Structure 1
Amino acid sequence: MVRIAVVEDEAVSRTLLRDYLRRYGEERTLHIDATYFTDGAAIVGDYKPVYDIILMDIQMAHLDGMSAARAIREVDQEVILVFITSAPQFAINGYEVGALSYLLKPLPWFAFSQELDRCMRALAKRQRASLLLQSGATTHRVDVADIVYAESVKHRIDVHTLSGVYSVVSTLKAMEAELAGHNFFRSNSCYLVSLAHVRGVSDHECLMTGGDRLRISRPRRKAFMSALADYAGGID
């Protein structure tokens, strides 16, 4: 599934884009989950980094597309941005917000489908497994590859990543289910460890990326070492 946000204040253009996205999904056998906004202010307000692609009109009444894109980039560096405009001179500054490209109105189907193909290729290159973590009032998109370990602390989970620690209301069991298939293993009742970030094992501890030492419980040690050996040998 690909999540696409369409930000367009003209009803006729929104309808055209809705039809194009439906046609694109049917022709490419792709499930597209599209959300539509009528102004830049509508998407920026309470924005969460849940979209793969944003198709953004530039000239809008309340908050123009470039200003909206700047605000989005403050919290989401990964989403693919494509501007849609009838005035190409307004799109030349798209590099400031890392826009992939821009499309000119009136928008023909062929140009749209070709550009969306380009977006899909870019998405495939950059897309990594990720989790959305609700930490306080903020939602963070975290690459699974950047998670070092998850720690159960009372009624929350502290997710230790390469860039920091996110505290979320969850359980280790729920986190383990979310990370299934990504080479995580319970070293004891408190820790869910990324095998990719284990730097060494001594006695009943594992040394993690960043220097933390985590306890391996005696009952789990044999299974933990077996899982680590399988991972090191390239067995998923």
Structure 2
Amino acid sequence: MLRVLAVDDEVPALEELTYLLRADPRIEEVACAGDAPSALRDLSRMLVSRDRLDAVFLDIRMPGLDGLDFTRLLTGFAEPPEVVFVTAHDDCAVTAYELGALDYLLKPVRPERLSEAVRRVDEAVHRAVPPGEGTPGPPDEDEMIPVELGGRTRLVSRRAVTHVEAQGDYVRLHTGDGSYLVRMPLVVLARRWEEAGFIRIHRSTLVASAHISELRFDGGRASVQVGQELLPVSRRHTREVRDLLVRRFRHAEHADGERDE
């Protein structure tokens, strides 16, 4: 069963597309978005919470970020969904297929034509993900997080993130060149990024262990040096952080010893 996202800035068109998709027995769930930035935010939340999204059915001509730009941004994700364009314009088909679109439907959408597009999505998804395999990629794969900055959408690499701070319903991603506010719970991000080496050092702080350069103790209080910042470690997480750094130090010693032999 497929999980898809329908995107169109025109409400009647979005309602019609959603109705047709939900009527298809191969589709389990249909989410909706009224523009491309909202669709990117929905996609990001799905990926972070390990929810599966198999395909996006979207319009091309939308205000702000259009469907083609949206598809270009998808290339930054480790496992982007399939893309099916649903548009009233036939002059973008070549560009759409160059971007890797699976199908290109013209409005008004005929049910049998949409059914054929769903069949293509179903075949592509089951060809790419063998039965029994999960959707998350390997831990060493990078992940791109879409963030809004000055009315524009930018992709931030997980590898560039040094630490994350909880701020109410949001998290602030800190990188070497700035910080970005993203609407998602810290607990969800911590679970998603655990295999990539991010550890909890405080109930409101998540740190990329690769960016920790030093562990300090002062008057019974622990802190870690991350870039130019000194971040406090709660008593609850002190042993976990210390054990992690000890293991990393021993691994480095072992690797150096093997090189010297």
Task: Calculate the TM-score normalised by the size of structure 2.
Answer: 0.51
1:93 deviation in Å?
Answer: 1.8
Query: Hey, what does 2:121 align to over in structure 1?
Result: 115
Is the partner of 2:163 in helix, strand or coil?
strand
Aligned counterpart for 2:179 among listed residues 165, 168, 174: 165
Residue 147 in 1 paired to residue 161 in 2? yes
Query: Hey, what does 2:21 align to over in structure 1?
Result: 17
Query: Hey, what does 2:41 align to over in structure 1?
Result: 49
CA–CA distance in structure 2, aligned partners of residues 24 and 6 of structure 1: 19
Query: Hey, what does 1:200 align to over in structure 2?
Result: 213
Aligned counterpart for 2:66 among listed residues 45, 68, 74: 68
Query: Hey, what does 1:4 align to over in structure 2?
Result: 5
Query: Hey, what does 2:85 align to over in structure 1?
Result: 83
Query: Hey, what does 2:230 align to over in structure 1?
Result: 214
Query: Hey, what does 2:190 align to over in structure 1?
Result: 179
CA–CA distance in structure 2, aligned partners of residues 154 and 45 of structure 1: 22
Quick one: which amino acid aligns to residue 241 of structure 2?
F
Query: Hey, what does 1:33 align to over in structure 2?
Result: 30
Uncovered stretches (5+) of structure 1, i.e. residues with no partner: 26-30, 37-41
1:207·1:214 contact (CA, 8 Å) conserved in 2?
yes
CA–CA distance in structure 2, aligned partners of residues 169 and 14 of structure 1: 25
1:189 deviation in Å?
Answer: 7.2
Quick one: which amino acid aligns to residue 18 of structure 1?
R
1:160 deviation in Å?
Answer: 0.9
Query: Hey, what does 1:39 align to over in structure 2?
Result: none
Q: 1:130 to 1:94 in 2, by over 3 A?
A: closer
Q: CA RMSD in A?
A: 5.3
Quick one: which amino acid aligns to residue 5 of structure 1?
A
1:178 deviation in Å?
Answer: 4.3
CA–CA distance in structure 1, aligned partners of residues 4 and 224 of structure 2: 38
1:85·1:102 contact (CA, 8 Å) conserved in 2?
no
Quick one: which amino acid aligns to residue 102 of structure 2?
S
Residue 225 in 1 paired to residue 225 in 2? no
Is the partner of 2:42 in helix, strand or coil?
coil
1:149 deviation in Å?
Answer: 0.8
CA–CA distance in structure 2, aligned partners of residues 189 and 54 of structure 1: 35
1:34 deviation in Å?
Answer: 2.8
CA–CA distance in structure 1, aligned partners of residues 189 and 213 of structure 2: 25
Identity of aligned residues (%): 15
Quick one: which amino acid aligns to residue 228 of structure 2?
D
2:73·2:155 contact (CA, 8 Å) conserved in 1?
no
Which residues in structure 2 correspond to 1:101-140 (within 5 Å)? Answer: 101-103=102-104, 106-107=112-113, 109=115, 112-119=118-125, 121=128, 124=135
1:135·1:168 contact (CA, 8 Å) conserved in 2?
no
